[in-house]
Structure 1
């Protein structure tokens, strides 16, 4: 089975010794993210996130289907992850690695089970028709920090997505195209963001947003998912070494500041994209066609 190439013993010792001297290979502070870039596609619901050299693309799609029998008043929302072989030699199509399983679980708990999306707003006709949303997460380039980058991509794509407008008359529902009616943004209850802490020296050293080399020398990781209001959505720990409770509390404080910064960054990018799209121009074009 393909696997990531292990770093040499000398490189491992070099990184560990540098961390003990409060030095990271790229010169960042221990509580700092790499450079974050976010762009949106021409279609609604496509978000491209670059965190350092890691790149993740999330795409939201929707279709009309029947709701689950036990959830007649709710729509459907699913998250699917795909690890491209070009991102890393450790990834192979059809054979999920441990990293892919963990990523799927974290995103599932943080966004879907965490109630970030108001699924009741996706209901069209109770028990008969609803919107089924699907978030496809594509890992394009892997240099560590997949969980954080993927969560940012999905949350940004959900905020960017617009579903078709619907008119309901009795048991009949009419789905309007984007040319007929302006599409509607999704109803988001909150915006959870994941912050991953990698720890070394039995939890004495905690790193935010470890790159691939740092991930290979760490003893474990703690993933904290929060929103900007300080509400903890989940805490997941992977690795055998125990972490002190006070250290974990300090991590939540650091995570809150990072979540606030990232949420503000996403909002600014959404506002920039809205200005580029110029919705008024589309309405003016339709009005001109009607006048002719």
Structure 2
């Protein structure tokens, strides 16, 4: 992965010195301290399984969909999931439409690795008929604006969308137990995914000869940083994945410092995701009650008889 993840933004020598000198005084160009995150906003669409995340100026939209497919032969009792990324040319002039570039593929891999290797999503619960039919979950990530640190924003967006996605309930009937019935949402309530934990990605940038560490780098900082480190962990402190990109080697003491900071940040982000999902579920329940409100039916019947 390139050190700037397809960031076409370039800075002058004077701008580079200004950023580095400010960091020596523990101040960043946007006014944050080295280990402060930008403002995080999580929104959801009207449909289940869609989310929009804003991290400062960075904006990512995620959509989760599911379809029934044949399972892999070596895992007949497990569903599957895959991540696809799309970089809009509006987000950054270096993004080209059409085939996903190396940066888009690498971004998807980092998010995928954190989710897959930590087995955050219960894939066994996605099995409908062992060896024949399982649910395949697809996550589409759309980069709308590249303001820096796409990895963290994309990761949060994927987790938020997965948390609100619901698949139709299926039952198997028939004499041979092979007749599949997919129940529509108005007959049976769709089922949410079983998510064991939230693997949250926290990215650090290394800037200047001193290798000054900052968290959640902006596109300005990505243009001058020598390397980055993305740590994916959950609130239990379990490290799910580590990605080091570009630059020189990092001291063990620095990595341990990053892990300690990332653990705290992951807890904060997890709380924000869960609170946002809880609010969405409340609104969803209210919408459902309005759609099935029996009082309106009763009043209509009363008017008719009157």
Give SS of 1:131's match.
Answer: strand
Q: 1:12 aligns with which of 11, 16, 19?
A: 16
The answer to whether the 8 Å contact 2:203/2:216 transfers is: yes
Partner of 1:190: 197
How far apart are the structure 2 equivalents of 1:99 and 1:241? 21
Which deviates further from its counterpart, 220-229 or 13-22?
13-22
Q: 1:83 aligns with which of 65, 84, 87?
A: 87
Partner of 1:31: 35
Partner of 1:211: 218
How far apart are the structure 2 equivalents of 1:282 and 1:211? 43
The answer to whether the 8 Å contact 2:76/2:131 transfers is: yes
The alpha-carbon distance between structure 1 residues 96 and 283, as it changes in their structure 2 partners (threshold 3 A), is closer
**TM-score (normalizing by structure 2):** 0.90
**Corresponding residue pairs, total:** 291
Show structure 1 runs of 4+ deviating over 6 A.
286-290
Shift of 1:103: 0.7
The answer to whether the 8 Å contact 2:49/2:166 transfers is: yes
Give SS of 1:106's match.
Answer: helix
RMSD of equivalent CA atoms: 2.1
How far apart are the structure 2 equivalents of 1:236 and 1:57? 23
Shift of 1:36: 0.4
Unmatched segments (≥5 aa) in structure 2? 1-5, 302-306
How far apart are the structure 2 equivalents of 1:22 and 1:263? 27
Partner of 1:269: 276
Shift of 1:46: 0.1
Shift of 1:278: 2.1
Partner of 2:304: none
**TM-score (normalizing by structure 1):** 0.94
Structure number, greater radius of gyration: 2
Shift of 1:105: 1.7
Shift of 1:64: 1.2
How far apart are the structure 1 equivalents of 2:51 and 2:274? 13
